[in-house]
Structure 1
Amino acid sequence: MARPGRESGGTLKTLEKLEKNVRDGKFYEAQQMYKTIFARYMASKKHTEALDLLQSGASIQLRHGQVTCGVELGLLLVEGMTTIKLAYGPEALDRIKAVFKEFPRSPTLEAQYSTKTLIEGVSTFMKAAIRWSSEFGAPSRGSPELHELLADFLARESPQPDLAKAFYHYVRGNNPSAFASAIISGMLEPEEGDLLLARGVFLYLSMGNLRDANKLFDELHSQLKDSSQASVLASPLTHLAKFILLTLERDALPLFRMLRENYKSSLDRDPSLNELLDVVAEKFYNVQQRKNGLFGDLMKMLTDGGA
């Protein structure tokens, strides 16, 4: 297997012994040894060796379907990176990506983990990594690349009702095209396709990101226009999304309010759309909203940038 770094002879032998334990099915024994040796390396200031050890351990446990063990070592890896204040950059990011790529995909009947365990494990590990990145050099909302990796995973592996979790991370990434594809893949019920489209556009806008909201709408239009789901583009809610995008290009609060009133019946299909537009009004027109109650808490979670 590819090694995470340039280990000394002793470290290499240690990794080989631990890997053999995992291959032999001695998962718990190997897990305890990984944690013990990691603590020893950290105490001796052998930081690179400590991170190499956990990157290797998390990867091999995951490769053998041991999701819980892999996540535990992955979280220790992020903890170690945080402890030594490892700066966000390509080399550090590669450690996270190397562990992430070893997570298995949808479980088979023989798998020792459930879909729920897998999704929770990936989310826990990646959210920890995103928090580390936000503290040590990435944008304040965390690494866009890590957000995109998690979003793609959640969109692919989650049951359809959990797409909102993927949306949260897509709007913190830099890939509206991938977001558009995820939205279209989630259009399992034709009558709800326009709701997904509007949520995606309004989420970008709720973060003040008019550029990517426009890119998302244009990408959705491009992918949908010649497809079996082209009827989504004729929906009043889709028309509203386009009109909102055009309105926000200029100082036109009265028009913004008029559009909300004229399309009230479409917006009322999903109360969260009005909540999102309340945030959009605050972002673009400085219209102050009361932030209390259930929806106020929801919108704070969606727009404040916490992973």
Structure 2
Amino acid sequence: MRRGRSERGVLLPPQEMISKLEKTANAGNFYEAQQMYKSIAARYAAAERYGECLDILQSGASVQLKNGQVTCGAELGLLLVENLTKGKFPVNDENLDRIRKIYKDFPRIPVPQNFGENDDVEKLSETIGAAKARVESCSSFLKAALKWSADNGGQKGGSPELHLMLAEYTCSESPELDMAKVSLHLIRGNSPERFASTLVNFMDKCYPGEDDLAIARAVLFRAALSIGGQTRKFSSCNVYTPLVILPRSMPIPPGPLTQAGSSPKNIKERRGSIKREGAHVRTPSRHVRNSI
């Protein structure tokens, strides 16, 4: 019994440790601070003092990210999610707020989209490489948080708020935007308006001819997830949600799918005429829905 008390006695109050480690990191000793954050947090976790462990890891992740140490910050963020899982912490506003605060501290450094002929190729390559590293680090952190939220009382596919965070960071920081992957998170998010605005912004930047594809993909993703029962926030909207909720100040670029003849009403009429002609309209198969 004495031994147990002695082991717990060496654990200083977490706020003292947080202040000490923050000074070490802010002095530029990032590697030393990182190892201390990890070892001290592990000792609190071993003593099953998960609350204090989370406080230390959250502080460490934010301090490292604010100092531009993205890899270190993401690593501590992943450890925080790991301890949320070990401690069986529920998905509630208090625990989600830890994720929110770390997410907000990830650097936002827009990558230039138009490169001039006289630009330094090596510098541009470094800029793009750093942007990819930021997106990968933030994605790893948020995907781990999504898994925790799905396994500990959240929605089946993970917290809609976390899906939206992942989509937003990828859109703002990725030098090579993959709209297909982003759409999968936006459609599971809790903001149809942001989904619509992101879609229109992408249509304005994509290659000619891809704008209609972007709309069709968004509608089909929405339809497939609706059939699978994986959307809640969108449940009061139909599959044309990304189109009909746009503000009037944000016009949709013209194209075959956005013409008046392709409105939901006219498409419904066409479908009826197709059925009368004996054609068969298929819905996405279970395999397709699961893959989405």
Partner of 1:213: 239
Question: Paired residue for 1:191?
Answer: 209
The 8 Å contact of residues 57 and 79 in structure 2, kept in 1 or not, is answered as yes
CA distance in structure 2 between the partners assigned to 1:137 and 1:20 by the alignment: 37
- Match of 2:167? 151
How far, CA to CA, are the matches of 1:223 and 1:140 in structure 2? 35
Distance 1:33 1:255 in 2: 72
Q: Extract unaligned runs of 5+ from structure 1.
A: 1-7, 261-277, 283-287, 303-307
| Separation (CA, whole Å) in 1 of partners of 2:76 and 2:108 | 19
What is the distance in 1 between the residues matched to 2:277 and 2:166?
A: 33
CA distance in 1, matches of 2:16, 2:61: 17
- Give the Cα separation in 2 of the matches to 1:137 and 1:251: 42
Q: Matched residues in 1 for 2:67 and 2:170: separation?
A: 21
Report the Cα offset of residue 58 of structure 1. 0.5
Rounded Cα–Cα distance in structure 2 between residues aligned with 1:181 and 1:89: 28
Change (3 A) 1:9 1:182: same
Q: Which has the higher helix share?
A: 1
**Matching residue of 1:301:** 291
TM-aligned CA deviation for residue 219 of structure 1: 2.2
Which position in structure 2 is the counterpart of 1:166?
A: 182
Once the two structures are superposed, residues 112-162 of structure 1 have per-residue CA deviations (whole angstroms, 9 ceiling, x without a partner) of x70110000110000100110011111101101111111111122223542
Partner secondary structure for residue 210 of structure 2: helix
The answer to whether the 8 A contact 2:135-2:173 is kept is yes
Q: 1:256 to 1:86 in 2, by over 3 A?
A: farther
Contact 2:58 2:98 in 1 (8 A): yes
Identify the residue that residue 247 of structure 1 maps to in structure 2.
Answer: 268
Cα deviation 1:161-215 (Å, max 9, x = unaligned): 4222211100111211101111111121453222212211211111116725333
Runs of 4+ in 1 over 6 A off after TM superposition: 107-111, 250-253
For residues 103 and 300 of structure 1, the distance between their equivalents in structure 2, rounded to whole angstroms, comes to: 31
Distance 1:120 1:256 in 2: 50
Structure 2 vs 1, CA of residues 39 and 244 (structure 1 numbering), >3 Å: closer, same or farther? farther
Percent identical residues: 40
Alignment gaps of 5+ in structure 2: 1-10, 112-122
How far residue 46 of structure 1 moved from its aligned partner, in angstroms, is 1.4
TM-superposed CA distance for 1:9, in Å, is 7.3
Superposition CA RMSD, Å: 3.2
Segment drifting more, 24-33 vs 157-166: 157-166
Question: Which amino acid letter does the alignment assign opposite residue 197 of structure 1?
Answer: I
- TM-score of the superposition, structure 1-length normalised? 0.74
Quote the Cα distance in structure 1 between the aligned partners of 2:273 and 2:166: 36
Are 1:214 and 1:245, in contact at CA under 8 Å, matched by a contact in 2?
no
Question: What SS class does the counterpart of residue 203 from structure 1 fall into?
Answer: helix
What are the equivalent positions in structure 2 for 1:1-307 lying under 5 Å apart? 10-106=13-109, 114-187=130-203, 188=205, 189-208=207-226, 211=237, 213-220=239-246, 222-225=248-251, 230-232=252-254, 235-239=255-259, 242-243=263-264, 247=268, 254=275, 281-282=283-284, 288=285, 291=287, 300-302=290-292
Determine the C-alpha separation between the residues in 1 that align with 2:163 and 2:54: 22
Call closer, same or farther: CA 1:255–1:171 in 2, change over 3 Å: farther
The number of residues matched between the two structures is 257
Cα distance in 1 for partners of 2:183, 2:43 equals: 40
Change (3 A) 1:107 1:22: farther
